[in-house]
Amino acid sequence: MFSDAESSVENKDQPFEIKTESDSNDITEHPHDDKSRPYLCTVCYKQFTTKDNLNYHKRMHSGVKQDDMYSCTQCEKRYSSRRALSVHMNIHSGRYKCRECGKCCLDSSELAVHRRSHSGEKPFECTVCGKRFITSSHLVRHSRIHSGEKPYKCRVCDKAFSESGHLNTHMRVHMGEKPFECTVCSKRFTRSSHLVGHSRIHTGEKPYKCHVCDKAFSKSDDLNRHIRVHTGERPYKCSLCDKSFSQSYSLQRHKRLVHSNSRPYECPYCGMLFKIHRQLKLHVRIHSYAKPYSCRH
């Protein structure tokens, strides 16, 4: 059985299909898979897969005491329903425990998926590039590289994302939330991965090396982008014209500049509107009289 996210992909005219070798052994993926999140919190703009999850989240804003929730007697976690607590208790009871490493899972489906990490089984294959995946949801997310699909749209600005987690992280930009702090310079970040990458500025570490040339990078994403210089790969295709790009941000920039009339970036001094943030940044220098480039002579 495939998840809702898979069904939505299969129903569209995409240049790929899901290929699997697990016929009768297919399982329903865990609820944490990359599914649609149609329920929006109007206070902080977080999105949720079910109305129950949204109502549980709203308690944080309404001031409902945590004592009114269902508490786990083994740890500090709290849940909005008895059923959610009951499923969580499977972890403590060891009902769905991995014999290889001892990890306890929430249910049989999660355990079956986890076992693949030990067996090396990857039953879900991309029919475009042949890459294989442990879970169907991972294949669905990967397939969006080829299709260019970005179904998770920010309701504040015009940005769109291929994964719901990326949208949730993006919302911190609008909320001003930066929970991850550098212990060296106290700079704060919206994502833990950004903090890890930033910390290498202080250590000078560049663990990601190109196997073609001698360049090295502090972030894996930077290496992956660099590799396309050698391969000439342009996986991000514009759905409105025949152009393609090696970087996802280049595709989004192209769409905003060429195909969109939206101008979400407003100058705080004169109210002039711009399609991309860089245009606004350059324009603001007119008002601030900033001249950051000086002649060394």
State both tokens at 198.
């930033």
Burial of residue 227, with CB atoms counted within 10 A of its CB: 0-12 exposed, 13-18 middle, 19 or more buried: middle
- Architecture (CATH level 2) of domain 178-259: 2-Layer Sandwich (3.30)
State both tokens at 161.
């994302």
- Nearest Cα to Cα of residue 50 among 61, 36, 63, 68: 36
Element (H, E) at 92: helix 82-93
Mean pLDDT in order along the chain per 10 residues (297 residues): 40 42 36 59 74 73 60 78 80 84 84 87 90 88 88 85 83 82 89 85 90 87 86 88 86 85 88 88 90 89
Pick 4-147's CATH classification: 3.10.580.10, 3.40.50.920, 3.20.20.70, 3.30.160.60.
3.30.160.60
- Please report, as a single letter, which amino acid is at residue 290: A
Burial of residue 25, with CB atoms counted within 10 A of its CB: 0-12 exposed, 13-18 middle, 19 or more buried: exposed
The count of other CB atoms within 10 Å of the CB of residue 141 is 20
From-to residues of CATH 3.30.160.60 in the chain = 4-147, 178-259
State both tokens at 247.
């970087």
Q: Which residues pair with 216 in a beta bridge?
A: 209
**pLDDT score at 37:** 66
CA angle 18, 21, 22 (to 5 degrees): 105
**pLDDT score at 258:** 87
**pLDDT score at 267:** 92
**pLDDT score at 34:** 54
**pLDDT score at 21:** 43
Query: How many whole angstroms separate alpha carbon 222 and alpha carbon 226?
Result: 6
Query: How many whole angstroms separate alpha carbon 205 and alpha carbon 66?
Result: 43
Query: How many whole angstroms separate alpha carbon 42 and alpha carbon 108?
Result: 35
Give me the DSSP letters along 228-240.
Answer: HHHH----EE-SS
